Structure 1
């Protein structure tokens, strides 16, 4: 039975895996062997029932690794968006450090009175100063 299982895994790795379009989450997260490499090794090292149990545990761990990778991707995306938002400038020319909100609510002295201080979304280049100060 173990030899048949190893042959099936070999066939999967050779013909199906290259076409599925994604990699083993456990391998990516832990920089380790893929699930099928691990399970194939278990079939070569253990009896059939032990290898099946190891496969179940590994697929469960792989599902958890997939969830971890998704959370990491969302976290990176949020950090990237926050970094982009923090590059906005307020109406009076002062760069807001942690957010894109205007630091000073009174922008009546602004050279550009059409700007709405509550929703400034000006490009924050180092030389930009909307109030001319």
Structure 2
């Protein structure tokens, strides 16, 4: 790995070990589809391709995570209120 790739790898590992466990939520992409988190996916891409060639796949990964977060937010129904003939989903 190049010096830049090593630096990015260390930054991502620092994020994974020190920030991510304390932020209060998990990667939406990992929650929605299983597998690895976005930070781990980007870390692997940078290790395989280098920093510059890893930018595009990294952005694609983050866009997929953004879409997964939107999908999860829409499906965050906690219960159903039956006030008449039509059940109404609600969130807390």
TM (norm. structure 2) is 0.82
Residue correspondences, number: 83
The runs of at least 4 consecutive aligned structure 1 residues that moved more than 4 Å come to: none
Q: Distance in 2 between matches of 1:47 and 1:9?
A: 14
Gaps of 5+ in 2: 87-92
CA RMSD across the alignment: 1.7
In structure 1, the partner of 2:14 is 11
Q: Given the alignment, which residue of 73, 77, 85 partners 1:99? A: 85
How far off its partner does 1:47 sit?
2.3
SS in 2 for 1:81: strand
Return the structure number with greater helix share.
Answer: 2
TM (norm. structure 1) is 0.58
- Pair member with larger Rg: 1
Higher relative CO (Cα under 8 Å, sequence separation at least 6) belongs to: 2
1:52-109 per-residue CA deviation (whole Å, 9 max, x = no partner) reads 1111111111000000001111xx34xx324xx17xxxxxxxxxxx728xxxxxxxxx
Return the structure number with greater strand share.
Answer: 2
How far off its partner does 1:45 sit?
0.6
